[in-house]
């Protein structure tokens, strides 16, 4: 809904990295097993994340991946744009009409614009440090 399944996998992997920053390299294998993501598929996604400099990867024995910058400097939206690509320059009309713009708006245009802005803020506001922390808290709560 908000993003593709690939992006969802990417977010999961990135949160996992943020959660486990104490170990400096983590194997793609491990993450895939942890979240039940198809390994080879995650491997591809990880390559893309690496190309976008969101993570660094190391081959060979003791290899693995790690965040390429502090968790607090990585936002969900960065991950989504890296995987799904950035949003189109010219937003499509929600009901598919030609010539829909701010000045000549379709009936849903302005409402939808607000919602899109909300989504953008939501995804742009949360950073991996906060997310990881909250996920850890949540897991502790469930473990009780």
Partner DNA sequence: TTTATATTAGATATAAATATCCTTAATGAC
Partner DNA sequence: GTCATTAAGGATATTTATATCTAATATAAA
Binding site residues, a copy of itself, CB under 8 A: 1-2, 8-9, 11-12, 15, 35, 76, 94-97, 99, 104-108, 111-112, 114-115, 118-119, 122, 126, 130-131, 134-135, 138, 141-142
CA 79 to each of CA 46, 62, 97: distance values in angstroms, whole numbers, following the listed order: 11, 25, 30
Q: Determine contact, residues 37/31, Cβ cutoff 8 Å.
A: yes
Q: Which two tokens stand for residue 51?
A: 């190309």
Choose one: 23-31, 93-101, 112-120, 136-144; the region binding DNA (CB under 7 A): 23-31
CA angle at residue 143 from 43 to 134, to 5 degrees? 60
The beta-strand segments (E) located in 7-100 are 55-58, 64-67
Does position 43 interact with DNA (CB under 7 A)? The reply is: yes
What element of type H or E holds 7? helix 5-19
**Cβ closest to a copy of itself, residue 60 vs residue 96:** 96
Indicate which of DNA, a copy of itself, none lies near residue 76 (CB less than 5 to 8 Å, by partner kind): a copy of itself
Q: Does 107 bind DNA (CB under 7 A)?
A: no
Name residues whose C-beta falls within 8 Å of residue 119's C-beta, 6 or more positions apart in sequence.
Answer: 2
- 29 is an interface residue for DNA by CB under 7 A: yes
Min dist. Cβ of residue 48 to DNA (A): 9
Which string of b and e fits 41-56 if b means at least 16 CB within 10 Å? ebeebbeebeeeebbe
User: Within 46-105, which residues bind DNA (CB under 7 A)?
Assistant: 46-47, 50, 57-65
Contacts with DNA, residue ranges (CB under 7 A): 4-6, 9, 27-29, 38-41, 43-44, 46-47, 50, 57-65
């Amino acid at each position: 809904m908000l993003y593709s399944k690939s992006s969802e996998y990417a977010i999961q992997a990135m949160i996992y990295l943020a959660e486990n920053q104490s170990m400096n390299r983590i194997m793609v294998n491990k993450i895939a097993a942890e979240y039940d993501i198809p390994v080879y598929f995650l491997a591809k996604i990880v390559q893309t994340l690496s190309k976008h400099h969101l993570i660094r990867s190391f081959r060979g024995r003791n290899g693995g991946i790690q965040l390429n910058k502090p968790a607090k400097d990585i936002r969900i939206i960065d991950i989504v744009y890296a995987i799904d690509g950035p949003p189109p320059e010219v937003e499509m009309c929600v009901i598919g009409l030609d010539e829909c713009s701010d000045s000549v708006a379709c009936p849903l245009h302005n409402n939808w614009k607000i919602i899109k802005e909300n989504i953008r803020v939501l995804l742009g506001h949360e950073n991996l440090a906060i997310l990881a922390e909250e996920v850890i808290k949540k897991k502790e709560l469930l473990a009780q």
